[in-house]
Amino acid sequence: METGQNQERRRNKATIVDVAKKAGVAISTVSHVLNHTAPISEETRKRVQQAILDLDYTPNMLARNLRQKYSNVIGVIVPDIENEFYANVASGIFRRADLEQDTVFLVDSGYSLEKEKMQVESLVKRQVDGLIFLGGSKDEELIDWAHKQNVAVVLGDRRYRNYCSVESDNFKAMRDLVLWVYGLGFRKIGYVSESLDMTNLQDRYNGLREGFHQCSLAIDEQWILNDSWLKLEKVDAAKSLMNQMVRRIKAENMPEIFLTSSDMIAIGIMDALIQNGYRVPEDISVVGFDDIRLVQYYNPPVTTIRQQCRKMGESCYQMLRGVLQGHIQDQHIVLETELICRQSVRL
Amino acid sequence: METGQNQERRRNKATIVDVAKKAGVAISTVSHVLNHTAPISEETRKRVQQAILDLDYTPNMLARNLRQKYSNVIGVIVPDIENEFYANVASGIFRRADLEQDTVFLVDSGYSLEKEKMQVESLVKRQVDGLIFLGGSKDEELIDWAHKQNVAVVLGDRRYRNYCSVESDNFKAMRDLVLWVYGLGFRKIGYVSESLDMTNLQDRYNGLREGFHQCSLAIDEQWILNDSWLKLEKVDAAKSLMNQMVRRIKAENMPEIFLTSSDMIAIGIMDALIQNGYRVPEDISVVGFDDIRLVQYYNPPVTTIRQQCRKMGESCYQMLRGVLQGHIQDQHIVLETELICRQSVRL
DNA sequence: CTGAAAGCGCTAACAG
DNA sequence: CTGTTAGCGCTTTCAG
The pLDDT of residue A69 is: 78
The answer to whether residue A346 is domain-embedded is no
Q: Are residues B246 and B303 in the same domain?
A: yes
Q: How confident is the model at residue B3 (pLDDT cuts 50, 70, 90)?
A: very low
The C-alpha angle B105, A14, A24, rounded to 5 degrees, equals 140
Min Cα distance A287 → chain B (Å) is 16
Bigger pLDDT: A269 vs B12:
A269
- Among B62, B84, B129, whose Cβ lies nearest the Cβ of A6? B129
pLDDT, one tens digit per residue, over B311-333 is 999 999 999 999 999 999 999 99
Q: Are residues A295 and A177 in the same domain?
A: yes
**Rounded to whole angstroms, how far apart are CA atoms B207 and B185?**
19
The pLDDT of residue A118 is: 94
The amino acid that residue A227 corresponds to is D
The pLDDT of residue B70 is: 85
Whether B265 contacts chain A with CB within 8 A: no
The answer to whether residue B232 is domain-embedded is yes
The pLDDT of residue B39 is: 85
The pLDDT of residue A6 is: 35
The pLDDT of residue A38 is: 87
A29 Cβ within 7 A of any nucleic strand C atom = yes
**Rounded to whole angstroms, how far apart are CA atoms A304 and A344?**
9
Whether A108 contacts chain B with CB within 8 A: yes
Min Cα distance A211 → chain B (Å) is 31
The answer to whether residue B193 is domain-embedded is yes
Rounded to 5 degrees, what are φ and ψ at A167? -155, 165
Q: Are residues B253 and B206 in the same domain?
A: yes
List Cα–Cα distances, B258 to A147, B184, B189, B216, B229, in angstroms: 54, 14, 6, 18, 18
Domain count of the fold of chain A: 3
- Among A66, A115, A294, whose Cβ lies nearest the Cβ of B297? A294
pLDDT, one tens digit per residue, over B33-59 is 999 888 888 889 999 999 999 999 999
- Tell me the pTM: 0.94
Whole-number Å distance, CA B36 to C1' C11?
Answer: 12
**Rounded to whole angstroms, how far apart are CA atoms A294 and A302?**
9
pLDDT, one tens digit per residue, over A192-251 is 999 999 999 999 999 999 999 999 999 999 999 999 999 888 999 999 999 999 999 999
B28 nearest nucleotide via C1' and CA: D3
Q: What is the mean pLDDT of chain B?
A: 93
Whole-number Å distance, CA B249 to C1' D16?
Answer: 81
The answer to whether residue A322 is domain-embedded is yes
Say yes or no for a CB contact (<8 Å) between B107 and A107.
no
Find out whether B316 and B275 touch, Cβ atoms under 8 Å.
Answer: no
Q: Are residues A279 and A180 in the same domain?
A: yes
Supply the range of the domain harboring residue B262.
170-308
- Among A58, A62, A325, whose Cβ lies nearest the Cβ of B65? A62
- Which residue ranges of chain A lie beneath pLDDT 70? 1-11
**Rounded to whole angstroms, how far apart are CA atoms A254 and A272?**
13
A32 Cβ within 7 A of any nucleic strand D atom = yes
Work out the average pLDDT over B72-78. 96
The answer to whether residue A64 is domain-embedded is no
Q: Which residues touch A90 (CB under 8 Å, ≥6 apart)?
A: A76, A78, A81, A106, A134, A313, B81, B108
The answer to whether residue B181 is domain-embedded is yes
Q: Are residues B304 and B176 in the same domain?
A: yes
Rounded to 5 degrees, what are φ and ψ at B120? -65, -45
**Rounded to whole angstroms, how far apart are CA atoms A273 and A305?**
21
Q: How confident is the model at residue B69 (pLDDT cuts 50, 70, 90)?
A: confident
Whether B62 contacts chain A with CB within 8 A: yes
Could you give the residue ranges of the DSSP H alpha helices within B184-308? 199-214, 229-232, 234-248, 263-275, 293-297
A44 Cβ within 7 A of any nucleic strand C atom = yes
The answer to whether residue B241 is domain-embedded is yes
Q: Are residues B181 and B301 in the same domain?
A: yes
Question: Which of chain B's residues have a Cβ under 8 Å away from the Cβ of A273?
Answer: none
Q: Are residues A225 and A277 in the same domain?
A: yes
Work out the average pLDDT over B168-190. 98
pLDDT at residue B6 greater than cutoff 80: no
